[in-house]
Amino acid sequence: MTWNWQEDDWPNFTYDREALAPNETQFIHEAGMVHGAIKHLTECDKSQLAIELISNEAVTTSEIEGELLNRDSVQSSIRRNFGLDTDNRKVPPAEAGIAALMSDLYQHASVALSEEQLFRWHAMLMRGRKDLTTIGAYRTTENPMQVVSGPIATPKVHFEAPPSDKIPTEMNRFLTWFNHTAPDGQQPLPTLTRAGIAHLYFESIHPFEDGNGRIGRALSEKALSQSLGRPTLIALSQTICRNRKAYYTALEDNSKDLNITDWLLYFTRTVLEAQQYTQRLIDFLIAKTRLYDRLRGKINERQDKALARMFREGLDGFKGGLSAENYLKITNTSRATATRDLQSLVELGAFRKTGELKHTRYWLSILTEPEKQS
């Protein structure tokens, strides 16, 4: 098997620019709409939007790699990194590490990419790891760096990266390419094209012992932010995570030669889907503000607590809807009081009700299709 980095013309990727042009245009148009919508948020909701999206990205970029993290711990760490109030919980190394990387990405998106930044990200990400030879530096192991699956005796090799002794040269060339193709670089590329190539190019080199996928996705977000001139606040990893199989298939299928049109079509469509999720989240936060304005002075402390808990679940809401049992646990009240409270919230238009008896469920009324949350 010949891999892309073994081609004579590596790393001169080729692709169909005309096929990508409509997606590039749509991204820029919708980015303007998202930016305009953010202006209608309160300062509190702007902070919540940033924390929500960064937290989700931190958790889901790890989930793509099979690492399940505690979302509350990640969010607490991100809030601390941004100088916001936290619950002062003790955050495990893995959660603190990805939170530090994502916070650094958000706060320093415009800075030119350097080896030092990549090493810093890797050290953050591998915080607490004792099983790696090298942390905060490129891999030096002699064994081939392979992406494999299946039985140990007969593994399937999905990709093999360049040997360790070639990594410094390959990464110097990658860093030069990344900075030269930036909006203010010598050879600027269209926004989505650059972000997509950056990810595939970095993954093809696979410069670290571990963490390449998470850092590669962070590089895509950095590229998007540089093109927009502001942090993207885009749910890229969250969107990828919904269909990891398609993501890994696209990476594998485009690791064997230098024509990467299929990869870029997959990637640009994924970014557009992620962008649309961000717009829905903004609409959700605006609707939340309007709902609270309408309910001011009309709900009690228990109802306010339950509402806050519902909103904390974000766009996806409570899986299967809020039940009376959920309400009892949230508010620690009696069943009769819970029944009155829930009925009142329905009458006020805060909740909508579906089902009967033990199947009764409650949904935030600002969500237009509650049935799809189950």
CATH of the domain at 365: 1.10.10.10
Q: How many CB atoms lie within 10 A of CB 56?
A: 22
Whether residue 288 is contained in a domain is answered as no
Whether residue 21 is contained in a domain is answered as yes
Residues 254 and 337 in one domain: no
- pLDDT surpasses 50 at 183: yes
- pLDDT surpasses 90 at 281: no
pLDDT at 285: 87
Counting other chains too, the contacts that 307-314 makes at CB distance below 8 Å and 24 or more residues apart are 307/345, 307/350, 310/364, 311/364, 314/52, 314/56, 314/281, 314/284
Residues 271 and 322 in one domain: no
Residues 267 and 358 in one domain: no
Q: Using a pLDDT cut of 70, give the percent of the chain over it.
A: 98
Residues 306 and 234 in one domain: no
Tens digits of residue pLDDT in 315-351: 877 889 999 999 999 999 999 999 999 999 999 999 9
* Distance, CA of 220 to CA of 228 (rounded, Å): 13
Last residue of a domain, one of 282, 311, 335: 282
Tally the domains of the chain.
Answer: 2
Q: What is the pTM for the complete model shown?
A: 0.89
CATH of the domain at 212: 1.10.3290.10
Residues 148 and 65 in one domain: yes
Whether residue 290 is contained in a domain is answered as no
* Domain coverage including residue 37: 4-282
Whether residue 185 is contained in a domain is answered as yes
Residues 83 and 169 in one domain: yes
Residues 274 and 367 in one domain: no
Whether residue 295 is contained in a domain is answered as no
Residues 216 and 336 in one domain: no
pLDDT at 266: 98
User: Residue range 179-203: average pLDDT?
Assistant: 98
Residues 257 and 132 in one domain: yes
pLDDT at 229: 95
